[in-house]
Chain A
């Protein structure tokens, strides 16, 4: 007769390792269960909001009666503005989607935006960050500094944002927090891919925190496995985000401003052929509308009217004087 402890050991040994479910089942069930979770929590939040709103309304009414004062209608904080749209883009405040062009909606907390396969959209968030959605992407603007991505690919450029604030990109797989940077998050079911183009991104996943640095790609597969790879800041993979970049107003500005902006948007180092060429770029004033062009096309179009030319050499964008052109300011 074996002891109780021996029986435990022998049973576990003879039974062997527990069977793991197939990976595709994990991903499929996760996606459906996560949708149920989203619906449940939004209903729960709505119910809680109604309760709180009811209580608050009673309180405000009582105070208003006491003070003989009528409260102004509350305005929800605007979280973003549409900066540029291409293709089919829709917007929803609940479950009813409408074309963005018809919506004329204020982008307030809880609003959802999605792009069809041919659609791209760029938003400017209230914190100054540029948020861009690739085709087949959905995003919900949750709160100031936080957005939720159920699926698809987004690009964030927080370069223009005031220091001190951090944007949180929440997904079902992990949460990415930027630390002054340009980065892309792609979510497909239970898998996530983070690409960092500039700066640093913190990624919280399964109770652990990872750091993604410029030029790094971190992938989390459907089973939670993590792998790292490299991606150059000027890789062609970033081109979709460049194509929808909202063009700053360059009319009346020095060519040097456009050149710096294009270098950053295309992830390249900027080099001038000589100090004289750099002075020239500062002296040349731009005129015209380049809003619907990609950064590089806009730069080439603008420089065509000057005595400056652009040349790409690996990771560097070089500005040179055109042959036989004067380079003095």
Chain B
């Protein structure tokens, strides 16, 4: 559910409701915007739950889009639109496992494990060579990916530009077509949202 006291979430839901309204009105640009924003995220969401089966991940995402669009007039802004899509995707994955013979092979997610926070902290430290750490690192990659995907607006992309591509605040400002101060402020909010999202996840 949306936390009305969180202005970022309230703004996000407002924007998402407007987007859903435009799509229902037949706005091609709005549909394209939604697809471009959600497709890579949902693909990663499904792929993480269906490891080693990219075709199944594609089918699940396709099914998710079709079901979500069919039910779009029932979206009331109780959560961010991406969260709403994820719930439909999660159900589609559960159906997939049911059809393919129970929960055998289902992925155990890091957020379901005890002491997840200490694992994350230890993995944020310099890399270790132990094989177990390699497996956990893969899971951390997935959980960071999922967290970045769940952030509103350009937050995930801005954090990647900053920490992976090493762009300066000024360069990020140019890419986003905003001022340097606004970019600095966006990065601060993005870091805060990431920290909150990952804390909420574990």
* A residues at B contact (CB < 8 Å): 1-2, 4-22, 25-26, 28-30, 32-34, 36-37, 40-42, 44-45, 170-173, 175, 204, 206-207, 224
Closest Cβ of chain A: how far from B145's Cβ, in Å? Answer: 5
Query: Counting chain B CB atoms within 10 Å of each CB, which of A12, A171, A173 scores highest?
Result: A12
Contacts of A30 in B (CB 8 A): 35, 39
Contacts A29-B62, A41-B25 given; indicate if A15 touches B144 (C-beta within 8 A): yes
Contacts A11-B124, A14-B123 given; indicate if A204 touches B29 (C-beta within 8 A): yes
Contacts A19-B145, A21-B39 given; indicate if A8 touches B140 (C-beta within 8 A): no
| B32-80 contacts to A (CB < 8 Å) | 32-33, 35-36, 39-40, 43-44, 47, 54, 57-58, 61-62, 65-66, 69-70, 72-73
How far does the alpha carbon of A129 sit from the alpha carbon of B44 in the complex, in Å? 46
B120-148 interface code vs A (CB 8 A; 1 in, 0 out): 11011101000000000100110011001
Stretch at the interface among B89-97, B158-166, B168-176: B158-166
Contacts A8-B195, A11-B124, A25-B58 given; indicate if A44 touches B24 (C-beta within 8 A): yes
Partner of B66, one of A33, A41, A207, A224: A33
Contacts of B69 in A (CB 8 A): 33, 36-37, 40
Chain A's closest residue to B117 (CB) is A7
Closest Cβ of chain A: how far from B129's Cβ, in Å? Answer: 14
Chain A's closest residue to B27 (CB) is A41
Chain B's closest residue to A35 (CB) is B66
| B105-130 contacts to A (CB < 8 Å) | 120-121, 123-125, 127
Q: How many positions in chain B have a CB within 8 Å of any CB in the partner chain?
A: 49
Query: Counting chain A CB atoms within 10 Å of each CB, which of B32, B40, B144, B191 scores highest?
Result: B32
How far does the alpha carbon of A67 sit from the alpha carbon of B137 in the complex, in Å? 79
Closest Cβ of chain A: how far from B168's Cβ, in Å? Answer: 15
How far does the alpha carbon of A172 sit from the alpha carbon of B65 in the complex, in Å? 15
How far does the alpha carbon of A87 sit from the alpha carbon of B200 in the complex, in Å? 62
Whether A14 and B137, one on each chain, are in contact in the complex, defined by CB atoms closer than 8 angstroms, is yes
How far does the alpha carbon of A268 sit from the alpha carbon of B159 in the complex, in Å? 54
How far does the alpha carbon of A21 sit from the alpha carbon of B198 in the complex, in Å? 23
Whether B140 and A15, one on each chain, are in contact in the complex, defined by CB atoms closer than 8 angstroms, is yes
Could you pull out 6 A-B pairs where Cβ atoms are within 8 angstroms?
A8-B194, A13-B163, A33-B35, A36-B65, A36-B66, A40-B69
Partner of A224, one of B36, B145, B156: B36
Closest Cβ of chain A: how far from B132's Cβ, in Å? Answer: 16
Contacts of B149 in A (CB 8 A): 18
Partner of B124, one of A10, A28, A170, A206: A10
Whether A29 and B73, one on each chain, are in contact in the complex, defined by CB atoms closer than 8 angstroms, is no
How far does the alpha carbon of A29 sit from the alpha carbon of B31 in the complex, in Å? 13
Whether B43 and A21, one on each chain, are in contact in the complex, defined by CB atoms closer than 8 angstroms, is yes
Whether B32 and A29, one on each chain, are in contact in the complex, defined by CB atoms closer than 8 angstroms, is no
Judge whether B101 is part of the interface by a CB distance below 8 angstroms.
no
Contacts of A33 in B (CB 8 A): 35, 62, 65-66, 69
Judge whether B23 is part of the interface by a CB distance below 8 angstroms.
yes
Contacts A40-B24, A44-B73 given; indicate if A13 touches B61 (C-beta within 8 A): no
Whether A18 and B145, one on each chain, are in contact in the complex, defined by CB atoms closer than 8 angstroms, is yes
Judge whether B4 is part of the interface by a CB distance below 8 angstroms.
no
How far does the alpha carbon of A44 sit from the alpha carbon of B148 in the complex, in Å? 34
Partner of A11, one of B61, B66, B198: B198
Partner of B58, one of A2, A4, A29: A29
Whether B124 and A7, one on each chain, are in contact in the complex, defined by CB atoms closer than 8 angstroms, is yes
How far does the alpha carbon of A32 sit from the alpha carbon of B31 in the complex, in Å? 13
* Extra 4 A-B pairs, beta carbons < 8 Å, given A7-B124, A33-B35: A8-B191, A16-B141, A20-B40, A33-B65
Closest Cβ of chain B: how far from A329's Cβ, in Å? Answer: 55
Contacts A29-B61, A40-B70, A41-B26 given; indicate if A17 touches B195 (C-beta within 8 A): no
Whether B36 and A19, one on each chain, are in contact in the complex, defined by CB atoms closer than 8 angstroms, is no
Closest Cβ of chain B: how far from A250's Cβ, in Å? Answer: 40
Whether A26 and B191, one on each chain, are in contact in the complex, defined by CB atoms closer than 8 angstroms, is no
How far does the alpha carbon of A4 sit from the alpha carbon of B197 in the complex, in Å? 13
How far does the alpha carbon of A274 sit from the alpha carbon of B132 in the complex, in Å? 88
Partner of A17, one of B29, B125, B160: B160
| B185-202 contacts to A (CB < 8 Å) | 191, 194-195, 198
Contacts A21-B40, A30-B35 given; indicate if A12 touches B160 (C-beta within 8 A): yes
Closest Cβ of chain B: how far from A40's Cβ, in Å? Answer: 5
